[in-house]
Structure 1
């Protein structure tokens, strides 16, 4: 590997899921020591950490419910402590994607998505910035947003709204933290493949494959590659940017 992230200490939230595991693995392959956060998927996060250690890398698994602001701050503090007081990269990937018709959505259902997908981004970023602004070289923060931030899908009103806000949070944070050497960006994936997706949603997968110019679903490592780039020296003058990783489906005409 090119070791683009050699010497970095990274925290990846939601690292028990497919995308998070792909991001954490790519960071480790590029030389970063990685803290893998999970809420319930402990076994999956542990497996990824073992694989990273088997490759000669460093990895730690931490468990927390990031819908709780204090848990966000404790997670960041634990990651920085494990990193010897340093945290150079944060990837805010943790999120949920339930489906619910807007007309019947309750305020509690709305808050459950917003607190996990948006408020956790705010709290984790704020805590990480406090660490990064006091260290040489600052750091990078990458939020995992979605193409649904600009292309809404039925039954996803709460998810789409939260992801749109995540994109604007990154731009605002890039503006305010730039002077401290902290870059903040988003990655907006399209449909990323996971085990059982084609069986659970066959018509949706077929529609995507017909629509996407590259002819396939995304893979977790596609998102991981984008995050590696944004955390690396290659993106030292990139901040406040939304990097769309969707195989080109957003370029397809809708009329």
Structure 2
């Protein structure tokens, strides 16, 4: 079994790569700029007993034909390094705070060019190579359900990804390919409480479990959805948010 994980040089992407390795997948580790982080992920996958290869690709590409070519090149490199992927996890995505007043057309274009557009392109190019039993997992966000202040383009794009998973699942299901989205809540990381104490406290009050989720919890969900145990699950978005979505919104 082989998986390709985008944005896997650290954080959630690295956790997903390791969880898939623990489940028996060789892993293509995509990265854009963090060479050392990608190498660390490769080492972690190898420590789990699986093959891994680091795959550089910058998919923030303006010309449509150039983006298609970059997606094909990434898939080809994965196939050459560890095998043709039967699982593709679309995790890479920008997350900048952009004030509403700064969201002119150029800002919208730049955000979606770097996030939504390459995700949709890579899903389409990867699906063309997947056979029956192939799985695509799209990493969405709880902000696709309820946006936070300053995150308008991120939240809008993540909501689109949830619908992308449903639409792609409908289109690809008769070919035996599943497409599922995962919507993580606030993910704990080192230094988060120091950097954003107010936000973490508000999350604790709002979530049923009274805490953020861990990258490992989200990654375990991705690994389950990519497995045969989830063979009847497609076209839906699974929230991993410590019960945040169960809290009253009023």
The reply to whether TM is greater than 0.5 is yes
Is 1:146 aligned with 2:141?
A: yes
Query: Can you give the 5+ residue segments of structure 2 that lack an aligned partner in the other structure?
Result: 62-66
Query: In 2, distance between residues paired with 1:149 and 1:102?
Result: 17
Which of residues 183, 189, 196 is equivalent to 2:178?
Answer: 183
Which of residues 242, 251, 254 is equivalent to 2:249?
Answer: 254
Q: What residue number does 2:97 align with?
A: 99
Which of residues 41, 46, 58 is equivalent to 2:34?
Answer: 41
Which of residues 57, 67, 70 is equivalent to 2:50?
Answer: 57
Query: In 1, distance between residues paired with 2:215 and 2:203?
Result: 16
Q: What residue number does 2:17 align with?
A: 24
Give 1:116 deviation, angstroms.
2.5
Moved more, 107-116 or 179-188: 107-116
Give 1:51 deviation, angstroms.
2.1
TM normalised by structure 2 equals: 0.93
Query: In 1, distance between residues paired with 2:48 and 2:181?
Result: 28
Q: What residue number does 2:189 align with?
A: 194
Q: What residue number does 2:64 align with?
A: none
Which of residues 10, 15, 19 is equivalent to 2:8?
Answer: 15
Which of residues 238, 241, 245 is equivalent to 1:243?
Answer: 238
SS in 1 for 2:213: coil
Give 1:209 deviation, angstroms.
1.4
Matched residues, number:
244
Which of residues 155, 169, 192 is equivalent to 1:174?
Answer: 169
Which of residues 203, 212, 216 is equivalent to 1:208?
Answer: 203
Q: What residue number does 2:118 align with?
A: 120
Query: In 1, distance between residues paired with 2:225 and 2:114?
Result: 23
Is 1:73 aligned with 2:68?
A: no
Give 1:65 deviation, angstroms.
1.1
RMSD of Structure 2 on Structure 1 (CA)? 1.3
Query: In 2, distance between residues paired with 1:165 and 1:159?
Result: 10
Query: In 2, distance between residues paired with 1:47 and 1:210?
Result: 35
SS in 1 for 2:95: coil
Query: In 2, distance between residues paired with 1:73 and 1:115?
Result: 18
Query: In 1, distance between residues paired with 2:48 and 2:162?
Result: 34
Give 1:163 deviation, angstroms.
0.5
- 1:54–1:83 Cα change, 3 Å: closer
Does structure 2 retain, via aligned residues, the 8 Å contact 1:80–1:131? no
TM normalised by structure 1 equals: 0.92
Q: Deviations over 1:53-95 (max 9, x none)?
A: 13321111111112232322211221123344x2100000001
